Structures are given as structure tokens and as C-alpha cells.
Amino acid sequence: MQVLHTYQELQVFRKSLDSVGFVPTMGALHPGHASLITRSKQENPQTIVSIFVNPTQFGPNEDLSRYPRDLEADLKLCQSLGVDGVFVPTVAELYPFEHAITLNPASDLLGHEAEHRPTHFNGVLQVVLKLFNLVCPQKAYFGKKDAQQLLHVQRLVADFFLEIEIVPCEIVRDHDGLALSSRNVYLSASQRQEALKIPQALERMQIAYQQGMRDTASLIRIGLDTLQGLEVHYLSICNHNLEPLAQVKSNQTLILCAVQVGQVRLLDNLWV
């Protein structure tokens, strides 16, 4: 496995490869990331992972400086999964200009996360486009947990005619049902217990849906009842273009949820 720090190293390495699957990450890798890497390994002759805590997607009061980092463990995991190359650039490497070109996300895909993190998707799209241009992958793997990010990246690829297949991957959950996230390490034991209300809320909404409930207001009420005591940033039911729905329609519905637990903002969702 090659560890590549500069854009030139990556370019030379990339030229030696054929078809590449790409897994962009911010490190602090967990089994959710491992599942993306494993899928890429199954579907591509070569796999490149990037590890880069991207400053432009963090707001001024967010956790950039304390975002979990453990490069040694990340590299070990990548090695054990048979990754071919890991790109670990510095900020200066990826952002060489003081005045960088920025991207505005499509306005129809805003709301939800963007209401709480107004510049987040600008930063995500900026870094993802840079990484796509550097890695030149045929396929790129994104978790469905960050549903809105996935929709923005799919739009980026379509709008800029990038010849990359975006592969959405299933949410990986811990044994207690909590969706895996690098930020889960911030949770104390009691906060973690509280956080379990999130998958429980989604599960209860799913059961009610399976029992025939289609009215979104009633489903949201069930979810909010379960989330009582937590600071819910949003719990919404929309279609795959993020338009609110009055009635749930199968294969077209996304239940999105963001909840603040202590200092940690947790996302979860359900694709119905």
C-alpha cells in the first residue's frame, strides 16, 4: 500500500493504475468506512482512500480543531483491507491559493443541514471536486448516513458532467443501533444512551409506516415523541429531491433527522 502526501506523488501513482474505486474520508475510520472500502475492493481492480479533514466544510464554531484524528490506526485499517493507495494531503497541498474558487450548492438541495451549517456543502463540494480531479476514479463510494451530502455529490457529478459513478452505501450501525460516525467518540456513556432514541425513533416510524400509516405529520409525531428530551434540529420526511411530502411514497421517501446530544450533532436517516 502506498501512502501519498503530495499531488505529484498521487499523479504518478494514478498513472500506474487502471480503473479505480475511490473512498473519500476525513479519517478516524470506523466499520462504516471499512464497508465502503470493502465494497470498492469488490467492484474495482484498485482502491484509493483519501484521509483529509477538510477545513472549508467546518463552520467557525464547529469542531475542526478537535475533530478525531488517528492516522496510524487509519493506515493500519486501510492496509488490512487491501487498499492500494492512501492520499493524505496537507491543507496547503489541497488549497494552494489564498483566494480559492468556491462552489455554491444547488439551492433546491439546501435546507435541513444547510440551515444549521450554512457553508458546509460549499466546502464539501469544493473538496470533493478537487479530490475527484486528482484521483480520477471510475466509481466513488459515499455512505447513505450523510444523505444530503450524497444528494449534493450526485448533483455535482451530473451538473459538471463528471464521468464518475457515485455508489451509495448502506448505513452501518453499532450493536445498539446507533449509526456509526467518527463523532460518536465524543459521547459520554449517558449521552450515548440518550442518543439511542434516534434509531429508536426511526424504527418506530418505520414500523408505523409498515403498518399502513402514510400521513407524514402523524409519522413525525411518533418520531418526536420518541426523541423527547433531546434537542431536535430537524426531523423531516421528504422525497429524494428534499421536497417535503404530505404522504409517504415507497421508493421515493427519505426520513431525515439531526439531533444535538451534548456537544455532538448526530445525523441519521431512513430511506423508505
Catalytic one of 33, 112, 120, 152: 33
Cβ-defined contacts of 39-42 (< 8 Å, 24+)? 39/141, 39/167, 39/169, 40/139, 40/141, 40/167, 41/81, 41/82, 41/83
Please tell me whether 182 is known to bind a ligand: yes
Check if 99 is active-site. no
Least Å distance, CB 217 to ligand PAF, is 31
Which C-beta is closer to ligand PAF: that of 40 or that of 54? 54
Site for ligand PAF in 69-108 (CB under 6 A): none
Q: According to CB under 6 A, which residues from 124 to 143 bind ligand PAF?
A: 124, 127-128
Select from 70, 146, 174, 194 the one that contacts ligand PAF (CB under 6 A). Answer: 146
Q: Which of 20, 21, 22, 24 binds ligand PAF (CB under 6 A)?
A: 24
Q: Pick the closer one to ligand PAF by CB: 146 or 194.
A: 146
Establish if 171 lies at the interface with ligand PAF (CB under 6 A). no
Chain positions 148 to 167 lying near ligand PAF, rule: CB under 6 A, are 149
Instruction: Please report whether residue 25 would count as binding ligand PAF according to CB under 6 A.
Output: yes
**Contact range with ligand PAF by CB under 6 A, out of 20-28, 78-86, 187-195, 226-234:** 20-28
Among 47, 54, 181, 184, binds ligand PAF (CB under 6 A): 54
Rounded least distance, CB 76 to ligand PAF, Å? 19
Closest CB to ligand PAF among residues 169, 227: 169
The reply on whether position 26 binds ligand PAF by CB under 6 A is: yes
Least Cα distance to 57 among 127, 123, 131 occurs for: 123
Closer of 127 and 166 to ligand PAF (Cβ): 127
Q: How far is the CB of 189 from ligand PAF (least distance, A)?
A: 26
The DSSP-derived string for the chain is -EEE-SHHHHHHHHHT-SSEEEEEE-S---HHHHHHHHHHHHH-SEEEEEE---GGGS-TTSSTTTS---HHHHHHHHHHTT-SEEE---HHHH--SSS----PPPGGG-STHHHHSTTHHHHHHHHHHHHHHHH--SEEEEETTSHHHHHHHHHHHHHTT---EEEEE---B-TTSPBP-GGGGG--HHHHHHHTHHHHHHHHHHHHHHTT--BHHHHHHHHHHHTTTSEEEEEEEEETT--B-SB--TTSEEEEEEEEETTEEEEEEEE-
Give the residue numbers of the binding site for (R)-pantoate: 57, 149
Q: Which residues are catalytic?
A: 33
* Residues found near ligand PAF in the complex (CB under 6 A): 24-26, 54, 57, 124, 127-128, 146, 149
